[in-house]
Amino acid sequence: MTTALRTRAVPALSFAAVVVRALVIRALAFAALGLAAPAAAQSSGSALAAPAADGPIQYRLENGLEVILRPLEGRHFTALGVSYHVGSSDQPEGYRGLAHLTEHLMFSGTDELGPGEPHTVLEAMGALTHNATTHADQTVYFETVPNARLEDALWLEAHRMARMLAGLDRARLERQRRVVLHEGVQNGHYGWRGRAREVTDALVYGDDHPYARTAERAADVNAISLDNVRWFFQTYYAPDNATLVLVGGFDPTRARAAIERYFGPIRRSGPRRERPRARPRPLPGQATVRMEVQTTRDFVSFVWPTPAWGAEGDAALDILGSLLVTGDDAPLQVGLVDSGLALGIEAHQASRELASEFRITALAVPGRRPEELAGAIDQALAGITGFSEASIEDARAQWARREENAQEGILSRATLLGIRGADGYLGTVENERARYAGVDSRSVVDALRRYLPLDRRVVFYGLANPSVDAGGRVLETRWSR
């Protein structure tokens, strides 16, 4: 569910952003990962642990709920996030959309709250932004509330964690199914973009990997039963599979007591299930896809599976994405846009828990073939021997500034703290800034050579055909090994 507020149109050059929509959302939340040790203080006892060096307070309730608190002086609002560590990658095959539909049903009420009433309760307390998003690895419920109403928000989150299933009936399921289908059509999940993502994911990760089944299907959504939702919820929506985060102007002592009061009594309703968390296998060669799509311009996308969020190379690939396309002498900008081949070009690393993706997408100038663009991208990448310290510094500063801009955004900070990083990493503002400090020209070039091999990747040619079927038409899929 994304906000019902008005959104801006997708500009022409956003194929990558649309195709890997979930990834990009993640990339925004997963701003970065530092290699530094977590700054959080660990506590499992009753005493309130002091934050270490401005880090957050971190502890677990007896029922397994992980809690992260980051009080900020002088703020009148508090952002609250509940991250359930389950997402679209946990959907069994044939149930694509189950995670998303379950997310919607969390707003459909409980045995005490009527349909849609969670929205009303939140808005009546003055919640500013309140919503939820389903990603590949987790589902996040979030809201920003006036400090004085924090207890109300904690009650609501605890109550629906404990009692959503007690109120769920067929009428609520059907209503939210229709809303999810509306969302899917409106956001292009069931059109050529969704199909392109399915095809690409299967090649990048292999059919049996959880990341190969994150794309939603309308037919699957239509087939989900009440019992399917109940099983999914009982398995994954439990305190020992969730992280509660508060960031803002709350009083930490009072908040801790309230969290114990509302979340402490919650018990798991179904057996715990281990999530398959295997890293994807390396690509055996180059896969090429040609697909006719309902656009007006041809494009080419390269996709590489890359190190997971926080793994070695992740930060360097973030910086590489900036260096390839930003600035007067950016290799892809010079080689494709300045040369008149492409109308625009994007390159970015989208980070996730098990594996990330590095994508380069170029939109062809009318009359130029996408194969020409692919050749020019290869030529530009092969020609890179290093980057000037000035441009590295520039890119580092750009990423550091992003953190600075995000610092005032208590909601994005809360969301980031709720995401699991490798080796217990915590996405604090301080850690995020530190993440880029160690990146230099050599590590960027090393990451380029190691993780973006020209002979092991997925190449997707989008061939513009405004009159093709809405779902597009795959003309060819082949491997070169």
Site for other proteins in 215-254 (CB under 8 A): 217-220, 222-223, 227-228, 230-232, 234, 249
Select 107 or 460, whichever has its Cβ closest to other proteins: 107
Exactly one of 59, 77, 236, 304 binds other proteins (CB under 8 A); that residue is 77
Contact 307, 356 (CB under 8 A): yes
- Half-sphere exposure of residue 403: CA atoms within 13 angstroms, side-chain side: 22
Q: Name the one residue in this structure whose structure tokens are 């309140």.
A: 130
Exactly one of 100, 130, 209, 368 binds other proteins (CB under 8 A); that residue is 130
What is the separation, in whole angstroms, between the first and last Cα of the chain?
A: 40
Select 299 or 451, whichever has its Cβ closest to other proteins: 299
151 part of the interface to other proteins, by CB under 8 A? yes
- B/e letters for 153-178, b = 16+ CB within 10 Å, e = fewer, are bbbbbbbbbbbbbebbeeebbeebbe
Q: How far apart are CA 286 and CA 283, in angstroms?
A: 8
Exactly one of 277, 401, 442, 478 binds other proteins (CB under 8 A); that residue is 401
Contact 322, 388 (CB under 8 A): no
159 part of the interface to other proteins, by CB under 8 A? yes
10 part of the interface to other proteins, by CB under 8 A? yes
Q: Strand 242-248 to strand 66-71: parallel, antiparallel, or no bridges (unpaired)?
A: parallel
**Rule CB under 8 A: which of 290-349 touch other proteins?**
296, 327-328, 338, 343-344
Q: How far apart are CA 437 and CA 36, in angstroms?
A: 10
Q: How many residues bind other proteins (CB under 8 A)?
A: 110
Select 126 or 386, whichever has its Cβ closest to other proteins: 126
Q: Strand 342-350 to strand 242-248: parallel, antiparallel, or no bridges (unpaired)?
A: unpaired
148 part of the interface to other proteins, by CB under 8 A? yes
Closest distance to other proteins from the beta carbon of 409 (Å)? 8
Identify the H or E element spanning 457. Answer: strand 457-464
**Residue 176, SS3?**
helix
Classify the C-alpha dihedral 439-444-445-448 as positive or negative: positive
**Rule CB under 8 A: which of 89-118 touch other proteins?**
92-95, 107, 111-112, 115-116
Could you tell me which residues come within 8 angstroms of residue 227 by beta carbon, excluding any fewer than 6 positions away? Answer: none
33 phi, psi to nearest 5 deg: -140, 130
Select 105 or 452, whichever has its Cβ closest to other proteins: 105
269 part of the interface to other proteins, by CB under 8 A? yes
Closest distance to other proteins from the beta carbon of 386 (Å)? 20
**Rule CB under 8 A: which of 14-73 touch other proteins?**
72-73
Could you tell me which residues come within 8 angstroms of residue 390 by beta carbon, excluding any fewer than 6 positions away? Answer: none
**Rule CB under 8 A: which of 361-390 touch other proteins?**
366
**Rule CB under 8 A: which of 423-442 touch other proteins?**
none
Q: Which span (8-16, 348-356, 376-384, 449-457) binds other proteins, by CB under 8 A?
A: 8-16
Exactly one of 35, 41, 175, 474 binds other proteins (CB under 8 A); that residue is 175
Closest distance to other proteins from the beta carbon of 472 (Å)? 9
Q: Which span (149-157, 310-318, 352-360, 381-389) binds other proteins, by CB under 8 A?
A: 149-157
**Residue 6, SS3?**
coil
**Alpha helices for 410-477 (secondary structure H):** 410-417, 429-435, 441-451
191 part of the interface to other proteins, by CB under 8 A? yes
Take residue 76 and report the two structure tokens written for it.
């009148």
Classify the C-alpha dihedral 308-310-315-316 as positive or negative: negative
Closest distance to other proteins from the beta carbon of 84 (Å)? 16
Closest distance to other proteins from the beta carbon of 234 (Å)? 5
Exactly one of 50, 128, 278, 382 binds other proteins (CB under 8 A); that residue is 128
422 part of the interface to other proteins, by CB under 8 A? no
- Of the candidates 272, 273, 274, 281, the one whose C-alpha atom is nearest the C-alpha of residue 212 is 281
Q: Which span (35-43, 162-170, 313-321, 379-387) binds other proteins, by CB under 8 A?
A: 162-170
Exactly one of 17, 20, 80, 125 binds other proteins (CB under 8 A); that residue is 125
Q: Strand 57-60 to strand 66-71: parallel, antiparallel, or no bridges (unpaired)?
A: antiparallel
Exactly one of 90, 137, 152, 298 binds other proteins (CB under 8 A); that residue is 152
Other beta carbons within 10 angstroms of residue 216's beta carbon come to 27
Closest distance to other proteins from the beta carbon of 450 (Å)? 29
